[in-house]
Every structure is written in structure tokens, then in C-alpha cells.
Amino acid sequence: MKLLLHAFDLPLRHAFTISRGSYRVQPTLIVQLDEDGLSGFGEATTNPYYGVTLEGMASALHAVAPLLAARRLDDPADLWDELRPCLQAHPFAQCALDQAAHDLWGQQQGQRVHRLWGLSDEQLPPSSYTIGIDRIDVMVARLREFPGWPVYKIKLGTPHDVAIVQALRRHTEAVFRVDANGAWSPREALDNARALEPLNVEFIEQPLPADQWPAMRELVGRSPLPLIADESCQTESDVERCHGCFQGVNIKAVKCGGLTPARRMIARARQLGMRTMIGCMTESSVGISAVAQLLPLVDYADLDGAVLLAEDIAEGVTLERGRCRFAPRPGTGARLRRPAPFAGGSPSPGQE
């Protein structure tokens, strides 16, 4: 297999703000794996919260390029296990490579990846559309810009969080999910949960900072709304740790290292009786098309990363008011519109 890397800056439709920062451009790395005239694509974005840079990912992937050149692709999961000792410290990079391997594998087999896993796409959970933190009138305008979605995810972490949700509720009857990205204290989280419960809020994502496990365990027993882990659930072992502190987990392929471990995390959460969700960063249709293959396995989805872009560098899976439409191609269905050589980029806060 031949490894190629492409770097892009993804401009957003609007400045996107979460509780720990704001950004207008998201640097991303596209991994391309070539074999026998076929090309598979995967993606991972930069993220300073997790210490991820373009240069760091590229360096880690170049180190395994000789191993890739010396073997042919058989089972992507076997390749993931083989490369894990080299890439364990670089899950974002391994994710992009694992996605590319799955895309290439699906093309070789002439079938979509989720079908090769034995999954049906007849009943898929809808994706939410995310509204970043801003003035209340601007957040209302963002909702109106994308009407008709069945679910909206509202970023919170301000002194006016309840007022924000109350204002948005006046403009839609859709389900709300709120995400504090760890910005609340235990007292704020409990007070906000009680105030948000009558506003058709389905659940709260990551109310407390990721390391506050005792406080989360206490909060989960008192909150009237379910709590879903995000920053607290990064790797496979975190699923077990989240049990008893959250009712569910938001699994992101870049954080755990790809589709291969994400499937295992979903299965383990199910065994523990937890709800499951797949999420994304602000990324192109390359990454979205890959993680969308997990949709038949989960309860909730937040896959609007490419919808937030001013211009997509790729095509593949699309979202029609939250409903996923798979591309009519084997693999993940992702296809890069324009290649670019690897280049550095400025870091950004990264969407959660």
C-alpha cells in the first residue's frame, strides 16, 4: 500500500464557538491509501485540546509508511492491531489511517463498509445540527438558517445558558440536546438540568470537566436529565469508567483511534446498558462518510461537521435535514474533490 497525505484548511460558514474557544478555520489532514489502482480516504483534524497538530500526525504516519509499503490490505482490523504499537500515542493519526483502510477495503469488496459488517441502513438515527455559542439573536438566526432538523445540539457554557435554550425553544418544537463541553460546576449542572427539563431537552452532554469523576457519579444520580460523556470518553477503557457516571457515551473515532476501536466501544457500552452516540469534529465529508458507517449501531448521532463548512473539499455521505444519505459508491463513499500536498496549518480549538 502507498501512503499519501493531504492537508487543508476548512473555512466555516460562521465563526464557531464552544465554551473553551472560537474559530473560523479548521485545519485537517486527509490520508490516502492506494493499492491496485484504488484509493481509500480517511481524515483527522487538528485539535489543541488533545494536543494534535498536522505536523505531529504526519510524522507518526510517515514512520509507519514502510510497514504499509511492505504489505497488502486484508482486514482493516488486523492492520489496526498491527500498527497499534507504533501509533498508540497518536490516535487521531491512526483514525485517519483506519478510515482510509476501511474505505479501500470496501472498494476492493465492492460494497459499503457497514454492509460488509452485516449492518442494515433501513433505520438510522437522525443527526443533530449544532448551534455554537453566540449572542442569543445570532443563535436564533443560526437555527432559522437550517430549519426542519429533527434535533438541534446547543452549545452552552455561558452565564445565560437557560435563557438561550428558552429563546431557541420559541422557534422550534424539535428535540434539543445541550453540550457544555465541561464548562459547568456541579451546582450549575444540577440547577441547569432542572431548568432545562421542561424545555424538551433530551440529554446533557459533558456537563463537568472530564476529570471530575466523583462529582459526575454524584450528579448522575440527581440530574433529572440523562448525562452523556464526551471529553470523559476518549479510549476503549473509558467506557467502563463512564459506567455509573453517565447514562451514555459519545464515541468519536478520532479520539479512540478509528472505526475499529469505535465498534468495540459501542459493543461494550451496550453490554453495560448504556446509550451510545457517534459524534464528529468540524471535518469534511471524508471523515463524516467514514463515521456514518457506524450509524446502524447507535442510538444518537451528531454528524453535522461538514454541514458547518463554507466549502467542502470532498463528497460522500450527505445529510438532508438530519437524515443520512449514503453515497452510491463502495467503501465509505468518500471522494476527494481536489488533492493538496502536505503543508502546515494553524491550530484551532476544534469542535467537540
Do 106 and 235 lie in one domain? The reply is: no
Backbone angles phi, psi at 158, to 5 degrees: -125, 170
Tally of structural domains, the chain: 2
Q: For residue range 57-87, what is the model confidence (pLDDT) as tens digits?
A: 999 999 999 999 999 999 999 999 999 999 9
Spatial distance between the Cα atoms of 108 and 283, rounded to a whole number of angstroms: 25
State the Cα torsion 180-183-187-191 to the nearest 10°. -30
Q: Which three cell numbers stand for residue 179?
A: 453540550
252 occurs within a structural domain? yes
303 occurs within a structural domain? yes
> Could you give the 3-state DSSP secondary structure of residue 310?
coil
Q: For residue range 82-127, what is the model confidence (pLDDT) as tens digits?
A: 999 999 999 999 999 999 999 999 999 999 999 999 999 999 999 9
Which CATH number belongs to the domain containing residue 230 in this structure?
3.20.20.120
Do 21 and 91 lie in one domain? The reply is: yes
Taking a C-beta distance cutoff of 8 angstroms, is the pair 336, 316 a contact?
no
Q: How many helices and strands (H and E) does the chain possess?
A: 12, 15
Q: What is the pTM of this model?
A: 0.94
Least confident of 293-302, 315-324, 340-349: 340-349
Spatial distance between the Cα atoms of 315 and 112, rounded to a whole number of angstroms: 15
Do 211 and 71 lie in one domain? The reply is: no
- Expressed as residue numbers, the domain containing 131 is 119-336
> What value does the mean pLDDT of the chain take?
95
Do 195 and 146 lie in one domain? The reply is: yes
51 occurs within a structural domain? yes
345 occurs within a structural domain? no
What's the number of CA atoms in the CB half-sphere (13 Å) around residue 112? 23
344 occurs within a structural domain? no
12 occurs within a structural domain? yes
Which residues fall within 8 angstroms of residue 204, CB to CB, at 6 or more apart?
177, 178, 179, 180, 189, 192, 193, 196, 223, 225, 226, 227, 228
Which residues fall within 8 angstroms of residue 79, CB to CB, at 6 or more apart?
71, 73, 98, 101
